Structure 1
């Protein structure tokens, strides 16, 4: 049997086991939390991206439909409405669809919403997006 000059060396692995297991457990938990956070973040981003896309698509379809209705009308109010409609379409066309990390996304989305509200005011129609999505018949699929 070998003689150990320092008696604590023999028991260090046992004494330090609690600390080692704590550090290892923390590291494993941190890595798992990072993986889960990434998955949840992506899912959250997809969900909100889809909602935002649906909203912008609705505004675009709304504007294009009204533009078609107003193009052949020559009265002064119709011209003003058409100009506002074309402005809304222009704002939507410049919307940054391809850049998921666009820093001014919220500002641009508020600009689209404000332009939509302006157009709705000129047309004297409701600005509640959910009302249009639900539909006037109350049918669901």
Structure 2
């Protein structure tokens, strides 16, 4: 009987140590994945913003009707990007808003931006 209690004690200690180590590894891996994923999203959105701001600048003096649609589409994309909550990783509509930005970018790309 005494051996059984001793085995249970070791089992309990081993479980606690394993749980603590697993938790630590999980946190480290989670942070690493989150940083990598966040960097990819930031880079993607940054490229969309750079594209939109560049074209907005190029079209700013073109006020004819043909270009006003282009400018409105660019303004809409820039607005979506500026509202995106970069600092809140727990934002529950992050994926939904990211898809809206991607869709708006594709829409802007379909518009012939060249003069």
The one of 2, 16, 21 equivalent to 1:32 is 21
How many Å separate the matches in 2 of 1:20 and 1:124? 72
Equivalent pairs, count? 114
Larger relative contact order (Cα-Cα within 8 Å, sequence gap ≥ 6): 2
Structure 1 residue 25: Cα displacement: 0.7
- The residue number in structure 2 matching 1:75 is 64
The one of 100, 105, 109 equivalent to 1:111 is 100
Structure 1 residue 123: Cα displacement: 2.8
Higher alpha-carbon Rg: 1
Q: How does 1:1-141 map to 2 (within 5 A)?
A: 12=2, 14-123=3-112
Give the TM-score normalised by structure 1: 0.76
Gaps of 5+ in 1: 1-10, 126-141
Deviation >2 Å, runs of 4+: 74-77
SS at match of 2:84: coil
Gaps of 5+ in 2: none
Structure 1 residue 107: Cα displacement: 0.5
How many Å separate the matches in 1 of 2:88 and 2:24? 24
Higher helix share: 2
Structure 1 residue 48: Cα displacement: 0.5
1:8-53 deviations in whole A, cap 9, x for unaligned?
A: xxx52x2322222112111110110001100110010000000000
How many Å separate the matches in 2 of 1:52 and 1:15? 54
Give the RMSD, CA atoms, in angstroms: 1.5
